[in-house]
Structure 1
Amino acid sequence: MIPGLSLLLLVVSVSILTGPSVHGGKILVFPVDGSHWVNMDLLIQSLHTRGHEVTVVRTATSWYVKESAEYYRSITVTLPEAISIEEEDFFVTLLANMLSIKKEGPSLSAFVNFYWEMLGKLSKIHQQASKLGVEIFENKTLMQSIRDTQFDMVLLDPGLPVGVLVAHELKLPTVFNARWVTSGEGHFVVAPSPTSYVPTSGHAVSDKMTFGQRVKNVFLYVLNMCIDKFIVCPHYDRLVDRYFGPNVNFYDLLQGADIWLMRVDFVFEFPRPTMPNIVYIGGFQCKPSKPLSPELEEFVQSSGEHGFILMSLGTLVKGLPIEITSEIAAAFAQIPQKVIWRHVGEPPNNLGNNTLLVKWMPQNDLLGHPKIKAFVAHGGTNGIYESIYHGVPIIGLPLLFDQFENVLRLETRGAAKVVDATKVTRQNFLETIQEVLHNPSYRNNMKRLSDLHRDKPMHPLETGLFWIEFVMRHGGASHLRTESYKMPWYAYFSLDVIGFLLAILLLLTATVVGSIRFMCSRLCRRRKPKQE
C-alpha cells in the first residue's frame, strides 16, 4: 500500500472513531411563518444534508412553509382560523395603518389608537397560535404517531412557542432558533438584562443612554413585561393548566430550553450579559456571492465606474403610499449610479432610466458584486447581516418593529445613515444617498465590521449545527442551563436576604442604642446624689 494513502486512511479512521457524530437523528420542528422561516429553512436544509430526518409542523394555511419538500416531511394541522401572520398582507396592512396614524401628527389619541390596535392584533395572533396546541393534543392519533416516531429533540422558533408545550409533553430536549420571544428580544427571558445600559425591545437607543433615555428604558421594559404577562401568556397558561395541571408554569417551560441559538453577533449587537446555554449564530445565512444572470450582469456592468445601488424593503414596500415611493424614485433619477429596486405593487412615478424594478432578486449575490456601492434597506436582520458580511454601507428606511433598533446600531457604528420614511422627500433622500456614496467612512466602517464578523474559528451555521447535534448526542444540555428561573422573584433579587440583613442591622442598632441609653441613665443616677 502507498505510505501516504495508508496514513490518510489511518487519520480518517481515527477521526471517525473519536470524533463526535450523530447518525440519522430525528428532529421535530416548530417554525414561525414569514421571514422567520427563511432562517429556519436554512437550518433544516443543512440538517438534512448531514443525514438527519426532519419533520416540520405547519398549519394548512401556512404561506411560506410548504407541505412537501425534498429535505423534510411535514405534519399539517388544520386550525379553526388562520394565524394572522400567515396571511400574506398582514404586515403590509399593519404598516399602512401605522403610517396613516403617524400622518395625524403626534397626539395622545393617535398613540393610544395605534397601541390599542397593536395589542389587539398581538393577542389575536397568540390566541390563534395556542389553538395549534389544542389541535395537536386533542388528536390522539397524531400524538401517538409523534410518540412512535421517537424524536431526539425539538427545534423551534419561540416567537410562537406552542412547540415548547409539545416538547414538554414528549419529554424531549429543546433548542431555540431565536432572537424574539413572546415578550420581545430573547435575552430578556434567559439572561441578566440591566436596563441601565441594555436597550429594551422597541427602544431605539445605544447602550450609552442619557438619564431621560434610561427612565424611558425602564418604562418600556415594565410595559413589555406587562404586555407579555397580561396579553400574551394567558393564552398559553390556559393550555398548560388544561393539559399539565397547576404545578407547571408556562414561563418556566419557555426559560427551560437547553440551547438558545441566538441570531446575534456582537459585531452588530451592543455588548451585554449572556449565559452559557446561549450560542451566537448571527449571520449564519451569509455566504459568498454567486455569478449573476446574464441580464442582471449586463445591467450592472452598464453602470461603468459609478457602480450600482440596491434597494429592497421586502414585501413591506406594498404598504408604502405611492407619494413616498415616488419621492424615492425621483431622488434615484438624479444620480449617475444604476439602481436595482425590488418592488412589488403599484410602480412609483418619477422613475428614472437608471432604475430597474424587479419582483425578486438574488440579494446576497448582488451585495457581493464588486460594483455595489450602497444598500437601501428597511433594516431586517437578514439584510443587515448580508450587508455586514459583504461590507456594503446601508441607507436605512426602517418601517416596523426592530428595524428601527437594527439600523440605529449600524448608524452608531458609522456604517449606515437613517431616513425617516414618513418624512422622505426627494431632496433629503438624495442628500443621504450622496453622503453615503461620497463619504468613505461609511464603507470603511462597514468593511471593518465585515472583517470582524468573518474572523471566527467556525462559520455561524456550523456552530449552530454543532450545538443541535450536541443536544442530540447528550440528550440535552442541562449542565449549561441556570435553574434561577425556578426561584421566586424575591429570592432571585435577594430581597429576602436584604430584608434579613436589614433586620439584623436594625436589631444590632437598637441593641447598641438601647445599651448606650441604659448606661447613660445609670450614670446620671449615680451623679445626682453627689451633686446634692
Structure 2
Amino acid sequence: MGAHSHFILGFRLAKELADRGHEVTFINAYPQKVPINNLREISVAEIRKDLDEKKKELYEMGTMSYIGQLSWVSDFGYFYTEKVLKIKEVQELLHSDEKFDLVLIENFMNEAMAIFQHKFKCPSVIMAPGPTTVFNNHLLANPFESAYVPNLLADFGSDMSLWERILNVYYDVVGQLFVHFVMIPNQNAILQRSVPGAPDLQDILYNASFMLLTSHISLREPSPLQPNIKEIGGYHLLPPKPLSKDIQDFLDSAKDGVIIFSMGSNLRSADFPKEKKEAVLKVFSRLKQKVLWKFEEDLPGKPSNVKILSWLPQQDALAHPNVVAFITHVGLLGKIEAVYHGVPMLGLPVYWDQEKNINDAVRQGFALSIPFPQLDEKNFEWALKELINNPKYRETAKLRSRIMHDQPMKQLDEAMFWIEYTIRHKGAPHFKSPALKLQWHQRVLLDVFLVTGIVVVVILSVVYHILKFVFTSSRSDKKVGKKKKRE
C-alpha cells in the first residue's frame, strides 16, 4: 500500500529477514536510498502521487455512513491494487521463472495480490495492519462472534446492549456481504485484466498459512483467534534513536512537560479547517506545556511554546521522559507507540478504525476522545487539561505499557519465528482450520438449521394431520351414534 505507515510495517519485516540471511524481494512505494544487503527492492513509488490526491478526501470520510466508508476504502484498494499490478517491474516479476520459499502479503483491500503465491507455488503469510475483522476473518476461517466482538467500525465495546448487538450483527452481516459480493468480485476483475489467464480469485484466495496481526492484547479486548493467527503488534518499534539537536533541546527544556501532536502520514494538520486550526492555537497559547506539532506548512502567528516540524520522528520523541500527552488521529501505529512508551492520548478520530481505536483506549482509562467534527476551543481545552492534570490517565498508560512489554519474546522475534516456521514446515498445513473446507453456510450451520427446521415442520405436520384425522373421526362417530339413538 502507498501509505507510509503501512510501508513501515512491511519494511521492518523485510529488513529483519534480510539481516537474518534471507534473500528478500520487497515491492514497495518508498525504496531506500542506500542499498541493504540481501534486500532487492521493486519500486512502485509512482503510485504515491495519485494516492496523495485520494488521501485529500480522508477528512470527509468520517462523515460517511457505514456502507459509504466500506465503499470508499474498497475503491481505494481497487485503485492502488490495479496500479501496482500494472507496473512494468511487477509484471516482469510475475512473468519470471524466479523461485521463492515464501510470499509475505500485506492484506488491505488488495486480495488480488494472492496471485503471487499462486504464481510462485510456495506458502504465504498474511500481514494484517490491524486486528482480525469482518474483512479478513474469512481468509483463515476465523470465527466472528457478533455477540461480544465489536465490529471494526462500531463505537461500542464488548459489553453491548441489546440494541448495540443488533447493530453489531448488522455491521458484520453487511460487511460479510460486501466482502463476498462487491470487494472480491472487484479484485477478481483487476486480477483478470492485469494477469491474463489467472485463475478465479476465489480459487486461490484461501491458501495462506499464517496471519500476523498488527495488534496486541494490551490494546484491545480478548477475541477468539485460530492457532495460525498471531498478534505481533509493536514489532516495528526500535530502540529510540538520537534526536536532532533542536528537537532534543526543545524537549529537554520543557520543565512543565511536552505535548506531541501528529495526525499521521495520511492526514495533514495543515488541512485543518480554519476555525479548528484557530481553536487549537488559542488553547496552546494558554498552556504552560510546550507543544511539538507535525505541521506540514509555515504557521504564522503560532504561540512561542509551539514548535512545528514537517516531519516528526514520532517514536523517538514519544520516548522522551518529558512527554505528558500525545494528540493523535489514533492510527494503530501511533496508538501502539503511545502505549509502548506509557503516554496518555487525546484522540481526534477522523475515519475508518480510528474511532474504535480511541474508544477502546478511553474504556481502558488512558485516553480521551474528541471526534474531529466536534473539535472546538472549549472541549479541546477541557480534554487536554484533564488529560495532563489528572494522574489516573498516565498511571493507566504506564500499566498498559507494562502489559505490552511483559512478553515471553520480542514481537519481532515472534514474527520471524512463525515466518521461518512456515518455510521449514512447507506451509504448516497442520495449522490450517478444517473450516476452510466448508462453504460459508456450512460454517454457520445454516444447512443444519434448515434440515432440522424441515424435519420439525414435517413432524409437526404429520402430528397435526394425525390429530386432525383422530378428531374428525371422533366427531363422525359421535354424529353416527346420535343419529342411531334418534332412530
TM-score (norm 1): 0.80
Match of 1:499 in 2: 450
Residue of structure 1 equivalent to 2:6 = 36
Q: What CA deviation, in whole Å up to 9, does each residue of 1:2-49 have, x standing for no partner? A: xxxxxxxxxxxxxxxxxxxxxxxxxxxxx6543200111111111111
- Structure 1 match to 2:102: 153
Name the counterpart of 2:113: 163
- Residue number among 89, 95, 106 corresponding to 2:58 in the alignment: 95
Residue 250 in structure 1 maps to residue 250 in structure 2: no
Contact 2:366 2:396 in 1 (8 A): yes
Query: 5 Å matches for 1:353-392?
Result: 353-392=304-343
Give the equivalent residue in structure 2 for 1:56. Answer: 26
Whether 1:405 aligns to 2:349 is no
Task: Confirm or deny that 1:314 pairs with 2:264.
Answer: yes
The 3-state SS of whatever aligns with 1:235 is helix
- How far the C-alpha of 1:407 sits from its partner, in A, is 0.9
Q: Which runs of 5+ in 1 are unaligned?
A: 1-30, 103-110
From 279, 301, 306, the counterpart of 1:327:
279
- Residues 490 and 424 (structure 1), Cα distance of their counterparts in 2 relative to 1, 3 Å cut: closer
Q: Which letter does structure 2 place at the counterpart of 1:174?
A: S
Aligned to 2:36: 70
SS in 2 for 1:88: helix
| Most deviating of 234-243 and 439-448 | 234-243
Which of 367, 392, 417 aligns to 2:368? It is 417
Aligned residues: 477
Which stretch of the first structure deviates more once superposed, 177-186 or 273-282?
Answer: 177-186
Residue 483 of structure 1 and its aligned partner are, at CA, apart by 3.8
> Residue 158 and residue 307 in structure 1: after superposition, are their counterparts in 2 closer, same or farther (change >3 A)?
same
The separation in 2 between residues aligned to 1:74 and 1:511, in whole angstroms, is 70
Aligned-residue offset at 1:377: 1.1
Structure 1 pair 450/188, CA: closer, same or farther in 2 (3 Å)? farther
Cα 1:491–1:117, aligned 2, differ >3 Å: closer, same or farther?
Answer: closer
**Structure 2 vs 1, CA of residues 256 and 142 (structure 1 numbering), >3 Å: closer, same or farther?**
closer
- Cα 1:32/1:168, change in 2 over 3 Å: farther
How has the CA–CA distance of structure 1 residues 180 and 381 changed in structure 2, closer, same or farther, with 3 Å as cutoff? closer
Structure 1's 181 and 376: CA in aligned 2 closer, same or farther, altered over 3 A? closer
Could you tell me which amino acid in structure 2 is paired with residue 343 of structure 1? F
Measured at CA, do residues 173 and 98 of structure 1 come closer, stay the same or move farther in structure 2, by a change above 3 Å?
Answer: closer
Tell me the equivalent position of 1:448.
399
Residue aligning to 1:3: none
**Post-superposition CA distance 1:369-398 (Å, at most 9, x none):** 221111111101111011111111001111
Separation in 1, partners of 2:94, 2:197: 19
Equivalent in 154, 163, 187 of residue 236 of structure 1: 187
In the superposition, relative to structure 1, how do residues 155 and 281 fare at CA in structure 2: closer, same or farther (>3 Å)? Answer: same
- CA–CA separation in structure 2 for the residues paired with 1:346 and 1:400: 26
Deviations 1:41-65, CA, capped at 9 Å, x for gaps: 111111111111110234xxx3x24
CA change 1:425–1:495 in 2 (3 A) is closer
What is the match of residue 106 of structure 1?
Answer: none
1:105-130 deviation line (CA, Å, top 9, x unaligned): xxxxxx58x97698367436415523
The answer on whether the counterparts of 2:69 and 2:352 sit within 8 Å (CA) in structure 1 is no
RMSD: 3.3
Q: CA separation in 1, counterparts of 2:312 and 2:212?
A: 28
1:215-364 map, 5 Å: 215-238=166-189, 249-251=200-202, 253-304=204-255, 306-315=256-265, 316=267, 317-347=269-299, 349=301, 351-364=302-315
Indicate whether 1:434 and 2:385 are aligned.
yes
SS in structure 2 of the partner of residue 279 of structure 1: strand
Q: What runs of 5+ residues in structure 2 fail to find an aligned partner?
A: none
Pair 213,116 (structure 1): closer, same or farther in 2 beyond 3 Å: closer
Distance (whole Å) between structure 2 residues aligned to residue 514 and residue 115 of structure 1: 48
State the distance in 1 between where 2:197 and 2:435 align: 22
Render the CA deviation track for 1:172-228: whole Å, top value 9, x for unaligned.
111011136998653365411122222223222212222333333233333333443
The one of 82, 86, 92 equivalent to 1:130 is 82
TM-score by length of 2: 0.86
- Report if aligned partners of 2:47, 2:84 keep a CA contact under 8 Å in 1: no
CA distance in 1, matches of 2:135, 2:441: 23
Residue 142 of structure 1: CA displacement?
4.0
Distance 1:451 1:116 in 2: 38
- Distance in 2, Cα, partners of 1:313 & 1:255: 35
**Structure 2 Cα separation of the partners of residues 388 and 398 of structure 1:** 17
Alignment correspondent of 1:460: 411
From the superposition, tell whether residues 121 and 136 of structure 1 become closer, same or farther in structure 2 (CA, over 3 Å). Answer: same
Find the residue that maps to 1:446 and give its secondary structure. helix
Correspondence 1:186 to 2:155:
no
Greater RCO, CA 8 A, separation 6+? 2
Q: CA deviation at 1:244?
A: 8.7
The letter of the residue matching 2:232 is I
Shift of 1:496: 2.0
Residue identity in the other structure for 1:312: S
Deviation at 1:326, TM superposition (A): 2.6
Going from structure 1 to structure 2, the CA distance change for 1:294 and 1:68 (only over 3 Å counts) comes to closer
1:156 CA displacement: 1.0
Rounded to whole Å, the distance in 1 between the matches of 2:402 and 2:103 is 34
Secondary structure at 1:340 match in 2:
strand
| Equivalent AA in structure 2 for residue 94 of structure 1 | E
3-state SS in 2 of match to 1:456? coil
Residue 291 of structure 2 aligns to a residue whose secondary structure is strand
AA in 2 matched with 1:55: T
Residue 454 of structure 1 and its aligned partner are, at CA, apart by: 1.1
Which residue does 2:439 correspond to in 1?
488
Q: 1:41 to 1:84 in 2, by over 3 A?
A: closer
